Amino acid sequence: MSLVRRAVAEDAEEVLRLRQVMIASVSPDAPTDWQAGSLPGLRSRLADPGGDFAAFVVDHPDRPDALAALVVGTLEYRIGGPNRPGGLLGYVFSVATDPDARRRGYARACMDELLAWFRERGAGHVMLTASPDAEPLYASMGFTRDATPSMRLYL
């Protein structure tokens, strides 16, 4: 039996706690006051198992009511192209493991479930942004660096 399960609405606060762990790993001074505003929307998406949003988690083995690891992604439609004629792609945007639960294979197991979810829904490829610490994990799973430039505008 797999340790990984699909997150549900009742996991929302723990999902946000682990997302903050991930954010703090790349930006230690990042604020935490965003979580309350994110909670309603996250609960709604976690409650919709047929939607285009999925989170896979591992329960913490040593702390009841806590999560040890988290992987979150969305399925997006973009106009098809040569490598993605159906137009669907997966995007992974939160991968986090509680500091006291690392090096147990939890993030990899969660990623495997998310990738299977993307495949089942017809995604042509999967995109993510990797921190230097996480890049070896993703490379071992077959991810490669993307040469396409990325830009961002905050609205």
- Give the DSSP per-residue string, 51-113: SSEEEEEEE-SSSTT-EEEEEEEEEEE---BTTBTT-EEEEEEEEEE-GGG-SSSHHHHHHHH
153: pLDDT confidence band, cut at 50, 70 and 90?
Answer: low
Total-model pTM: 0.90
Is the confidence at residue 5, as pLDDT, over 60?
yes
Distance of CA 12 to the CA centre of its chain: 13
Domains and CATH numbers, the chain: 4-140 (3.40.630.30)
pLDDT digits (tens, 9 = 90+) for 26-58: 888 988 899 999 999 999 999 999 999 999 999
CA dist 107 and 96 (Å) reads: 7
pLDDT digits (tens, 9 = 90+) for 83-102: 778 889 999 989 999 999 99
Q: How many CA atoms lie within 13 A of 27 on its CB side?
A: 6
